[in-house]
Amino acid sequence: MAEKIRILIVDDLPETRDNVRKLLQFEPDVEVVGQAGNGQEAIDLARKEQPDIILMDINMPIVDGISASQSITQSVPRCQIIIMSVQSEADYLRQAMLAGARDFLMKPFSGDELMAAIRRVYETRPTIVHTSATTSTNTTTASESPIDQSQKDGKVLTVYSPKGGSGCTTVAINVAVALAIRGYKTLLIDANLQFGDIAVTLNMRPSSTLVDLADRISELDADLISSVALEHESGLQVLLAPPKPEMAELVTADSLDSIVNIVRQNFDFVIIDTATSLQDTTVTVLDNADRVLLITQQSLASLTNARRFFDLFDALTSDIQRIMLVVNRASDKFSISVKDVSDALRRPVVASVVQDDVAVTNSADRGIPLLGNNARKTPVAASILKLADVIEIDLLGETKQDAEGGEAVQQKTGWLSWLGR
Ligand SMILES: Nc1ncnc2c1ncn2[C@@H]1O[C@H](COP(=O)(O)OP(=O)(O)OP(=O)(O)O)[C@@H](O)[C@H]1O
Ligand SMILES: [Mg+2]
């Protein structure tokens, strides 16, 4: 028989604990391994019993359910917490989710509801959980494991967010430009196939697009790709999205897969912008990526979607180490801090791209990347450069700056001098 799901029940009322225990007693795949009457007992029992799931009340004496969840999330990360609350505690649910709780049940709940929540949380639990979350200033690498170098030369970074409008295109364009300016052979692919907006944001005429490659997939080679890619004045090469939404279906997941596999042999970095919906083309470029730049913001909705994505990604690929968590529009004015994001998702935030409505909007509207106009001295441009540093260090082990002893890299456009480094 398969292993049982080990449960800890935490509630200050003995009769509530008993009711929950009774709801579970005839379930063949669960086992109640303990009961606690307050948050402190829960913390102690969680450490001792290492349950899979903790059913946690909110209002309890000594240590409440939110503080206990926070402590357990940090110290016993294998435990997944389901909050049991009453309607009047709805305000606390937000805090509970931020404290790391995975799901919640409104009391009174039926045995079916309880088991559905337990199975859902158990089945989507992360297989690898990080215990040490770091803040935005930390440049921890996303993975300790070396990249598989067997057949790839270039590093593929897919920029994705499970919430639309989070800043994927902004980050993808500006990071790609930063890498190109540093002298890396860099290709930006607009894989937001229906509504890709890289052409307009970089002020490039879509004279050729991915459709021109998808048409000739059997002839695909480096020469064909370079004849379709357009060159931006920063030195960046760009493969644009189809010019009309109805042409998106001409670029299939298979053709995108072939394109990425060929271009990675010819570029140092391939940066791929994506749409939010998880269509098969998006899944392909997530699969193909050495790193997924997961763009979040400091909002509960953004966090909730990011957590769902982490769970899904982990379940599908078991390779959550490939995700680099990035907070965009970062600001200390929001009630959810960058550290809260990191704590709630149990992942380091590798970089924060600061909020600057004027610089970012003007840059997009004028079709000039942040590093290419007078926004290059702004904090948002500096945070993009920092993110590029993190990417270089994580994927190559050093930055160009380090490799060349601080000497500027020779580059054919005048953009490099604008970096001021
Ligand atoms: N750091 C930032 N500071 C201020 N505004 C920003 C920042 N990043 C992005 N924006 C703005 O947020 C909006 C959405 O950004 P962007 O288009 O990059 O997001 P997206 O994730 O690509 O969206 P979509 O889901 O439509 O593809 C844009 O108006 C952009 O100018
Ligand atoms: Mg976009």
Region 362-373: what's the mean pLDDT? 91
Cβ-contact 148, 291 below 8 angstroms = no
Is 17 inside any structural domain?
A: yes
At 409, is the secondary structure helix, strand, or coil? coil
Cβ-contact 360, 370 below 8 angstroms = yes
Query: If we measure between CA atoms, which residue out of 226, 317, 323 comes closest to residue 265?
Result: 226
Q: Is the dihedral of CA 90, 91, 96, 98 positive or negative?
A: positive
CATH number of domain containing 228: 3.40.50.300
Is the domain of 304 the same as that of 247? yes
Cα 264 to middle of ligand 1, angstroms: 27
Cα 113 to middle of ligand 1, angstroms: 38
Count: domains in the chain: 2
Is 391 inside any structural domain?
A: yes
Q: Write out the residue range of the structural domain in which residue 37 sits.
A: 5-123
Ligand 1 contacts CB of residue 355 (under 6 A):
yes
Q: Is the model's pTM score more than 0.75?
A: no
Cα 307 to middle of ligand 1, angstroms: 20
Protein residue whose Cα sits closest to atom 10 of ligand 1: 167
Is the domain of 413 the same as that of 367? yes
One DSSP character per residue, 67-125 reads HHHHHHHHH-TT-EEEEEE-GGGHHHHHHHHHTT--EEEESS--HHHHHHHHHHHHHT-
Is 133 inside any structural domain?
A: no
CA distance 41 to 274: 46
Is the domain of 208 the same as that of 310? yes
Protein residue whose Cα sits closest to atom 18 of ligand 1: 167
Q: Which residues surround ligand 2, an ion (CB under 5 A)?
A: 168-169
Query: What pLDDT, in 10s, does the model give residues 48-86?
Result: 999 999 999 998 999 999 999 988 988 888 899 999 988
Cα 165 to middle of ligand 2, angstroms: 7
Segment (H or E) for 398: none
Atom of ligand 1 nearest to the CA of 357: 4
Is the domain of 288 the same as that of 390? yes
Is 78 inside any structural domain?
A: yes
Worst-scoring range by mean pLDDT, 194-198, 217-221, 354-358, 362-366?
217-221
Is the domain of 185 the same as that of 297? yes
Is 36 inside any structural domain?
A: yes
Cα 137 to middle of ligand 2, angstroms: 26
Is the domain of 226 the same as that of 325? yes
Is the domain of 404 the same as that of 306? yes
Is the domain of 110 the same as that of 225? no
Region 138-159: what's the mean pLDDT? 54
Is the domain of 169 the same as that of 269? yes
CATH number of domain containing 44: 3.40.50.2300
* Residue 140 or 326, more confident: 326
Is the domain of 269 the same as that of 381? yes
Ligand 1 contacts CB of residue 276 (under 6 A):
yes
Is 205 inside any structural domain?
A: yes
Ligand 1 contacts CB of residue 414 (under 6 A):
no
CA distance 292 to 325: 8
Cβ-contact 105, 82 below 8 angstroms = yes
Is the domain of 169 the same as that of 93? no
pLDDT at residue 199 is higher than 60: yes
Is the domain of 115 the same as that of 166? no
Ligand 1 contacts CB of residue 360 (under 6 A):
yes
Is 128 inside any structural domain?
A: no
Cα 235 to middle of ligand 2, angstroms: 21
Query: What pLDDT, in 10s, does the model give residues 299-344?
Result: 999 999 999 898 888 777 768 889 999 999 999 999 999 999 999 9
Picking from 104, 123, 142, the residue at the C-terminal end of a domain is 123
Q: What is the CA 64 to chain-centroid distance, rounded? A: 30
Cα 109 to middle of ligand 2, angstroms: 41
Query: What pLDDT, in 10s, does the model give residues 76-117?
Result: 888 999 999 886 666 677 778 778 888 888 888 999 999 999
Is 148 inside any structural domain?
A: no
Considering every ligand atom, which ligand is closest to the CA of 277? 1
Length of the chain: 421
Atom of ligand 1 nearest to the CA of 329: 1
Ligand 1 contacts CB of residue 353 (under 6 A):
yes
For 261: left if phi > 0, alpha if psi spans -120 to 50, otherwise beta; the answer is: alpha
Ligand 1 contacts CB of residue 357 (under 6 A):
yes
